[in-house]
Amino acid sequence: MTSIALIGMPGSGKTSVGRLLARRLDCDWVDCDHALEERIGCSIRAFFEQQGEAAFRDIETQVLADLLAQERRQVLSTGGGVVLREANRALLQQRAHTVYLRVGVQALWRRLRTDTQRPLLQVADPRQRLTDLFTVRDPLYTQTAAHTMETGGMSSHQAAHLLAAQLELQPPARLV
């Protein structure tokens, strides 16, 4: 196995930390949502509106399996809901060193309150929706991850630096 997978809530820093971490570790960086959009040929938001969440999650599982089957050193920035499917959790546990970038709801709300691109937050009360998502997903992230890193008070650069240092000091046996 040659993958580090970052999981966490929307706005937890998976994309920005992933990009910086890959650069620091001198390996490939893959944004799973971007790979998914390439596969479906449109934005995730448009696909959600046209096909629904279930169809989106089916394709997400296929894309995740394909990316984790590749034999290359890579950092994957996953979508926030990737842990909702048991099959995805199993893939992440078996084929990657999975790190949960944990951020509390208050910090997430500060980061996301003006975001209009995340389909699941386009509701009448996005703050309550965020709280509800966190309540469901936090235990799944914790269960799936080999390592949890509290990043609510850190910049992306600080989080990537700390995570890289931890991996350099104690690299997972599966990543060496």
What domains are there in the chain, each with its CATH number?
3-159 (3.40.50.300)
Burial class (CB in 10 A: 0-12, 13-18, 19+), 159: buried
pLDDT at 176: 40
pLDDT at 159: 95
CB atoms within 10 A of CB 135: 10
pLDDT at 119: 64
pLDDT at 126: 80
Spans of the chain, pLDDT less than 50: 1, 174-176
* Residue 26 DSSP code: T
pLDDT at 120: 67
Strand 147-150: give its sheet, edge to edge. 28-31, 74-77, 3-7, 96-102, 147-150
| Residues linked to residue 96 through DSSP beta bridges, in sequence order | 3
Pick left, alpha or beta for residue 52 (phi over 0 → left; psi -120 to 50 → alpha; otherwise beta): left
- What is the residue-averaged pLDDT of the chain? 90
pLDDT at 29: 97
Q: Decide: pTM greater than 0.75.
A: yes
- Cα-Cα end-to-end distance for the chain: 9
Burial class (CB in 10 A: 0-12, 13-18, 19+), 25: buried
pLDDT at 1: 45
Burial class (CB in 10 A: 0-12, 13-18, 19+), 67: buried
Q: How far apart are CA 121 and CA 162, in angstroms?
A: 30
pLDDT at 175: 47
Q: Are 75 and 25 in contact (CB under 8 A)?
A: yes
